[in-house]
């Protein structure tokens, strides 16, 4: 088990920071699925009050990483194959609509920067960093819809996707050589967006999303049997 000092939080940390810290513990498997989250123990470990911890739980409940059960309190949950399929359909609609838009120079710069940050993450080969930069790039694509509400909605979807993407990174060999898989796929999508090839961008993006869905479903189904 890792040194607990590296996840200590200062007294004035926000609920969002608490939620992010708990999410790292969940996706790493340190807080396992179905296990109750003991408030007193976790609050002491993170150096925060139980009220602040509960605020973090509520944020994770919105991301469906935590659920409340009678007589057990907050419990770590994992998405079912049906839930992840529904989540994927939602993001698919948003992103495929977004790539039909022609980006402004500023929007294209943001997409290019997100791709460069994903490339840097690929060099590090750290799954958590790669997942974060992967989803950040998809956020810049959704932002092409130029709707604050839809961008905010996708930010929430990203939180739910983190778990599934991290499951892939820990189970599948894709993240062992991210420059040959993750980076190549995203670079092709960005190239199509840059060149104004909206049909190609949509086709590449759809294939990428569908491939991720198939991989996660395979992993989840193997865990369910």
pLDDT at residue 196 in the model: 95
Of the three residues 76, 96, 130, the one that is the final residue of a domain is 76
Whether residues 96 and 65 share a domain: the answer is: no
Q: Which residues have CB under 8 Å from 105's CB, separation 6+?
A: none
Average pLDDT over residues 15-39: 79
Whether residues 102 and 146 share a domain: the answer is: yes
pTM of the predicted model as reported, rounded to 2 decimal places: 0.74
pLDDT at residue 77 in the model: 78
What are 182's strand-pairing partners?
A: none
Task: Give the count of domains, the chain.
Answer: 2
Q: Which tens digits make up the pLDDT trace of 73-117?
A: 888 876 678 888 999 999 999 999 999 999 999 999 999 999 999
Average pLDDT over residues 150-178: 73
Whether residues 120 and 171 share a domain: the answer is: yes
Q: Which residues have CB under 8 Å from 42's CB, separation 6+?
A: 22, 53
Average pLDDT over residues 137-155: 96
Whether residues 61 and 98 share a domain: the answer is: no
Whether residues 137 and 53 share a domain: the answer is: no
State the CATH number of the domain containing residue 153: 1.20.120.530
Whether residues 117 and 9 share a domain: the answer is: no
Task: Answer yes or no: is pLDDT of 24 > 80.
Answer: no
State the CATH number of the domain containing residue 26: 1.10.10.10
Whether residues 213 and 112 share a domain: the answer is: yes
Q: Which residues have CB under 8 Å from 172's CB, separation 6+?
A: 215, 219
Closest CA to 210 of 127, 121, 91, 78: 91
Mean pLDDT of the chain: 83
pLDDT at residue 109 in the model: 98
DSSP 172: S
Task: Answer yes or no: is pLDDT of 12 > 50.
Answer: no
Of the three residues 43, 59, 76, the one that is the final residue of a domain is 76
Whether residues 58 and 118 share a domain: the answer is: no
The percent of residues in the chain predicted with pLDDT above 90, rounded, is 38
Higher pLDDT, 116 or 34: 116
Whether residues 17 and 113 share a domain: the answer is: no
The percent of residues in the chain predicted with pLDDT above 70, rounded, is 82
Whether residues 29 and 116 share a domain: the answer is: no
Whether residues 12 and 110 share a domain: the answer is: no
- Give the H/E segment covering residue 94: helix 81-98
Whether residues 97 and 170 share a domain: the answer is: yes
Of the three residues 51, 76, 101, the one that is the final residue of a domain is 76
Higher pLDDT, 156 or 106: 106
Question: 114-138 burial string, b = 16+ CB within 10 Å, else e?
Answer: bbebbbebbeeeebbbbbbbbbbbb
Average pLDDT over residues 181-198: 94
Q: Which tens digits make up the pLDDT trace of 47-67?
A: 888 998 998 888 888 777 788
Is residue 204 a contact partner of residue 188, using CB atoms and an 8 Å limit?
yes
DSSP 104: P
pLDDT at residue 199 in the model: 97
Report the alpha-carbon distance of residue 208 to residue 189 in Å, rounded: 9
Say which range, 39-43, 46-50, 158-162, 181-185, has the weakest mean pLDDT. Answer: 158-162
By residue range, what is the domain housing residue 117? 81-224
Q: How far is CA 180 from CA 123, 183, 185, in A?
A: 11, 6, 8
Find the angle CA(193)-CA(197)-CA(201) to the nearest 5 degrees: 60
């Amino acid at each position: 088990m890792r040194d607990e000092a590296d996840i200590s939080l200062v007294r004035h940390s926000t609920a969002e920071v608490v939620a992010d810290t708990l999410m790292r513990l969940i996706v790493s498997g340190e807080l396992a699925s179905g296990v109750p989250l003991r408030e007193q123990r976790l609050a002491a470990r993170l150096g925060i009050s139980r009220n602040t911890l509960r605020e973090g739980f509520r944020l994770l409940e919105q991301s469906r990483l935590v659920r409340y059960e009678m007589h057990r309190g907050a419990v770590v949950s994992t998405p079912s194959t049906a839930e992840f399929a529904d989540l994927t359909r939602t993001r698919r609609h948003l992103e495929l609509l977004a790539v039909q838009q022609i980006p402004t120079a500023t929007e294209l710069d943001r997409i290019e920067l997100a791709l460069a940050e994903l490339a840097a993450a690929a060099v590090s080969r750290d799954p958590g960093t790669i997942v974060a930069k992967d989803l950040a790039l998809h956020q810049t694509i959704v932002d092409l819809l130029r709707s604050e509400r839809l961008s905010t909605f996708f930010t929430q979807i990203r939180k739910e996707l983190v778990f599934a993407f991290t499951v892939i990174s820990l189970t599948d060999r894709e993240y062992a050589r991210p420059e040959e898989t993750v980076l190549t796929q995203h670079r092709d999508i960005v190239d199509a967006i840059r060149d104004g090839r909206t049909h190609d961008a949509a086709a590449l993006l759809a294939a990428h999303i569908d491939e991720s869905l198939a991989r996660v479903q395979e992993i989840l189904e193997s865990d369910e049997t």
